[in-house]
């Protein structure tokens, strides 16, 4: 993998409790705010790994300045844009702490985010694969728009039940920016080079263990703006190029590819018995159908309310 200086900060040999991985490409507008919110966590025992996908704006200078000022910050820069998938996976592979969190260059964390999640991990008798707090969406000026009402929370001992819950909560998945148990996350395929691969990752995590959605005030703010990946890339082909600039055009539709990847994730899971795997596949088909009906019904209800207002 092509990486240029400045390289990883090696001034501190201490192993941290949490690794935060921040992949970025041309994120100068909001990057400083995102980094500040990470470094302001009341759990100071963290490392921040920033991986720059050959940015052409002021991103390199911003990252280098933070790396020079705080020993917890490490910065690597690729010599070419490898795509979001490889960059997201790169920061994970560079991490070393028992807990791991992805951070986007335009989102914000309240100071209690990491502490609340780590404490919740330590309270659980059955090891969760993922814990994340309540979230809300903000605009370019940090104004709160609305809360995120989706929840993947499930502590069921049955993998099929956890799978169903994960599928129902897939949308603007803030859960992928929660806190993962590193060893559990390492058992997944991480982020794939195809559209909606973050959905597949979350399904894999649900198959591996409970997903905990914390009660309380929102501690994570997901920014909605015109340059975010989901807004800037409208077509499936554009999204695919965002994940992997060298990807060839898909023969399958995004929905067909996603279903295929879900099934592959079920059958490669090392946490399911031979009996559980076909049960989970059947549950997947039913869950996807149920979700489409539910989402379509919701759109019709909103339309009717709008027309009658």
Query: What is the signed CA dihedral for 171, 186, 277, 292, rounded to 10 degrees?
Result: 10
- Sequence-distant (6+) residues with CB within 8 A of 298 are none
Per-residue pLDDT, 11: 40
Please compute, for residue 127, the number of CA atoms within 13 A of its CA located in the half-sphere on the CB side.
11
The whole-angstrom separation of Cα 267 and Cα 269 is 6
Residue ranges, comma separated, of all CATH 3.90.550.10 domains in the chain are 1-106
Name the more confident of 101 and 296.
101
Percent of all residues in the chain with a pLDDT value above 90, rounded to a whole number: 76
Per-residue pLDDT, 241: 75
Fold of 1-106: Spore Coat Polysaccharide Biosynthesis Protein SpsA; Chain A (3.90.550)
Residue 12, pLDDT > 60, answer no
- Condensed to tens digits (0 to 9), the pLDDT of residues 176-190 reads 999 999 999 999 999
10: pLDDT confidence band, cut at 50, 70 and 90?
very low
- How high does pLDDT run on average in the chain? 90
Residue 236, pLDDT > 60, answer yes
- Condensed to tens digits (0 to 9), the pLDDT of residues 237-286 reads 777 877 888 777 778 888 899 999 999 999 999 999 999 999 999 999 99
Place of tokens 């148990």: 181
pTM for this predicted structure: 0.89
Buried b (16+ CB within 10 A) or exposed e, 32-71: bbbbebbbebebeebbbbbbbbbbeeebbebbbebbeeee
- Tell me the pairing of strands 130-132 and 179-181: antiparallel
Residue 166, pLDDT > 80, answer yes
Across 191-220, average pLDDT = 96
Per-residue pLDDT, 7: 46
- Tell me the pairing of strands 179-181 and 46-52: unpaired
- Condensed to tens digits (0 to 9), the pLDDT of residues 294-309 reads 777 777 776 777 654 4
Place of tokens 């869950």: 287
The whole-angstrom separation of Cα 299 and Cα 285 is 22
Across 89-115, average pLDDT = 97
- Condensed to tens digits (0 to 9), the pLDDT of residues 68-92 reads 999 999 999 999 999 999 999 999 9
- Condensed to tens digits (0 to 9), the pLDDT of residues 110-156 reads 999 999 999 999 999 999 999 999 999 999 999 999 999 999 999 99
Across 150-167, average pLDDT = 95
One-character DSSP codes across 118-172:
HHHHHH-SSPPSEEE--EEEE-TT--EEEE------B--S-HHHHHHHHHHT-SS
- Beta-strand ranges (E) seen in 15-151 are 18-24, 46-52, 73-78, 99-102, 108-109, 130-132, 135-138, 144-147
Residue 1, pLDDT > 60, answer no
- Sequence-distant (6+) residues with CB within 8 A of 154 are 161, 162, 165, 166, 206, 210, 211
Across 228-243, average pLDDT = 68
């Amino acid at each position: 993998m092509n990486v240029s200086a400045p390289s990883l900060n090696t001034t501190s040999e201490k192993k941290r409790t949490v690794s935060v991985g921040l992949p970025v490409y041309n994120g100068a507008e909001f990057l400083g705010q995102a980094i500040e919110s990470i470094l302001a966590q009341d759990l100071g025992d963290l490392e921040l790994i920033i991986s720059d996908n050959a940015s052409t704006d002021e991103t390199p200078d911003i990252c280098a300045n933070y790396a020079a000022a705080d020993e917890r910050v490490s910065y690597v820069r690729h010599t070419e844009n490898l795509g979001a998938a490889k960059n997201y996976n790169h920061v994970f592979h560079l991490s070393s702490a028992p807990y791991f969190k992805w951070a986007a260059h335009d989102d914000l964390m309240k100071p209690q985010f990491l502490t609340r999640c780590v404490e919740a991990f330590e309270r659980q008798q059955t090891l969760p694969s993922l814990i994340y707090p309540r979230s809300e969406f903000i605009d370019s000026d940090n104004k709160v728009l609305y809360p995120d009402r989706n929840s993947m929370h499930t502590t069921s001992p049955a993998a099929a039940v956890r799978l169903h819950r994960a599928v129902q909560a897939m949308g603007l998945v803030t859960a992928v920016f929660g806190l993962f148990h590193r060893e559990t996350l390492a058992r997944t395929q991480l982020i794939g080079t195809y559209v909606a691969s973050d959905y597949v990752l979350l399904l894999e995590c649900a198959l591996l263990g409970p997903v905990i959605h914390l009660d309380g005030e929102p501690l994570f703010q997901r920014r909605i703006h015109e340059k975010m990946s989901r807004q800037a890339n409208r077509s499936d082909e554009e999204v695919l190029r965002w994940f992997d600039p060298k990807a060839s055009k898909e023969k399958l539709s995004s929905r067909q590819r996603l279903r295929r990847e879900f099934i592959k994730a079920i059958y490669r899971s090392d946490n399911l018995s031979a009996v559980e795997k076909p049960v989970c596949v059947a549950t997947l088909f039913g869950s996807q159908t149920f979700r489409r009906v539910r989402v379509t019904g919701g759109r019709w209800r909103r339309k009717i309310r709008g027309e009658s207002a």
